[in-house]
Structure 1
Amino acid sequence: MTSIGIYGSLGRMGQAIIEVAPSLGARVAGGADAQDDPAPIAAKADVLVDFSAASALDAHLAAARAAGTPIVIGTTGLSAKQHEAIDAAAQEIAVLQTGNTSVGVNLLARLVRDAAARLGGDWDVEIVEMHHHHKADAPSGTALMLGEAAASGMGTTLGEARVTDRAGLVGARAEGTIGMASLRGGSVVGDHTVIFAGQGERIELTHRADDRAIFARGAVRAALWLAGQKPGRYTMDSVLGDAVLGA
């Protein structure tokens, strides 16, 4: 039975993973949290799952590399420098980094990419996300993932197309941009809507998460898959493959 080590084991996602792992054929080897040394669990587990904080990622990557242990990174709010560190680690170990481990969200990303490619430049793209009031980063990692999917379909990059600040007298909407709005409040697990607005019609693709267990199940599934992979950087698309519709 594959053993999973959890960074951020006392957090919401860490606790959810601990709860669902046995039912999916995985064993929890233990965890590490703030102020804990990340090295022992890295050496003990077959694969690591990180849902802690962006500030801890560098130490967790270093521990995973030193132990030669694959790692699933679900922590959001990462910097460009941290993505470079992930690329470097992927030269030595298998790394899967994702903004969302939900099967439904990853299918949504595929639909968004396809819609953006088929609809063309006459349709405006807007992304709205809402999370609980404890969430620290905005836009959410999932919103950024959906934005990247839309940008890919449009033949551009999210860095070029993204607009997050429309405060003040900003003028008309620029063609080819992707607007992103973040809402925070209450206990919302995660709602994401991608809006394609055309002349006289509108398409809205929405995913609503009602239970954090959907992310935990996806994370365990990703960990079980990653445990047997060669060094490299992977995504949830790699895990789900063509079977996503039946998951």
Structure 2
Amino acid sequence: MTNPNTKDAVRVLVHGASGRMGQAVLRLAAERQDLRVVAAVSRGVPAQRVVDGVPQFAASELGGAPGFDVGIDFSLPQGFDPILALCLERGAAFVSGTTGLGENQRDALDVAARSIPVLSASNFSLGVAVLGELVERAAAMLRGWDCDIVESHHVHKQDAPSGTALTLGEFAALGGAEPRYASLRAGDIVGEHTVQFATAGERIELIHRATNRDIFARGALHAAVQLSSRAPGLYRLRDLIS
């Protein structure tokens, strides 16, 4: 069931609600008292209009969603533009974990951040947020070392390298490294990322392993609550870790 409708609860719309991440966000949101899911949006027309107290909408009905403070988006690139536009129209914060975005869509995030708080992340694990900082520091201190990023995911993941791997590569590049990438798709691996720095005679590996998707959903909900009270701007997950 949904949480009680408390005065200070952050109102959340979940976009991409029928996917694995969307389902995890809905399940874990129901356990929190500081937020309330007011709409769950999926691509197809829902079989039930209300599930556990949460109104259900098809993507084609997005404009009819009730008022909300934050939109959480875990969908596909083709569904990204409408939810970002709705958040802009409503003046709501935008939290997105959708990967594989095009250049125009990334530019749209920059434009939106002038009007609303925006966080687009390839990975909502708080551990990965810390890993990015470690990678940047290691790259800066290990100038001239080879930098390789190896990522492993389940067989159904479409993009490669993963968005998280590319983000880690950006941190490595900030430190002066030139990252290379390798991708593996096997079984039901939730997500593993290894950043390796190597030179003659020695090697350093920084590794993050996710064993449960709940860590990403918890991170997205944490970000939603934190972002709801922030000024317009483009945020990173590590900006919201207190």
Amino acid across the alignment from 2:220: A
Q: Go from structure 1 to structure 2 and tell me whether the alpha carbon gap of 1:118 and 1:24 turns closer, same or farther (over 3 Å shift).
A: farther
Decide which structure has greater helix share: 1
What residue number does 1:38 align with? 62
CA contact (8 A) 1:24 1:220 kept: no
Q: Residue 7 of structure 1 is aligned with which of 5, 8, 15?
A: 15
Unpaired runs of 5+ residues, structure 1, are: 155-175
Please state if 1:65 is matched with 2:88: yes
**Counterpart among 151, 156, 163 of residue 129 in structure 1:** 151
Q: Could you tell me whether the CA contact under 8 Å between 1:192 and 1:206 is conserved in 2?
A: yes
| Partner of residue 29, structure 1 | 38
Contact 2:161 / 2:181 at 8 angstroms: preserved in 1?
Answer: yes
What's the secondary structure of 2:75's corresponding residue? Answer: coil
Deviations 1:151-187 (A, max 9, x none): 0011xxxxxxxxxxxxxxxxxxxxx531101111211
Q: Is the 8 A contact 2:118 2:233 kept in 1?
A: yes
Partner of 1:55: 78
* 3-state DSSP of counterpart to 1:197: strand
Q: TM-score, normalised by structure 1?
A: 0.85
Query: Corresponding residue for 2:163?
Result: 141
Contact 2:193/2:209 (8 A) holds in 1: yes
- Structure 2 distance, partners of 1:191, 1:75, is 18
In 2, the alpha carbon distance for the partners of 1:107 and 1:24 equals 24
* Distance in 1 (alpha carbons) for counterparts of 2:41 and 2:76: 12
Q: CA deviation at 1:8?
A: 0.3
- Which residue in the other structure is 1:157 paired with? none
CA distance in 2, matches of 1:30, 1:104: 29
Q: In 1, Cα distance between the equivalents of 2:118 and 2:42?
A: 20
Cα distance between partner residues in 1 of 2:30 and 2:131: 28
Unaligned runs of 5+ in 2: 1-8, 45-58
Instruction: Give yes or no for the alignment of 1:89 onto 2:112.
Output: yes
The structural deviation recorded for 1:40 is 2.9
Percent identity, aligned pairs only, is: 47
In structure 2, the partner of 1:233 is 234
Question: Is the contact made by 1:47 and 1:227 (CA closer than 8 Å) also made in structure 2?
Answer: yes
The list of structure 1 runs, each at least 4 consecutive aligned residues, that deviate by more than 4 angstroms after superposition, is none
* CA deviation profile, 1:180-228 (whole Å, cap 9, x unmatched): 0111121111000000011101111110100000000000000001111
Alpha-carbon offset, residue 88 of structure 1: 1.1
Q: Is the Cα–Cα contact under 8 Å of residues 71 and 83 in structure 2 kept in the other structure?
A: no
Q: Deviations over 1:51-102 (max 9, x none)?
A: 0001111111111111111110111111111110111111111111111110
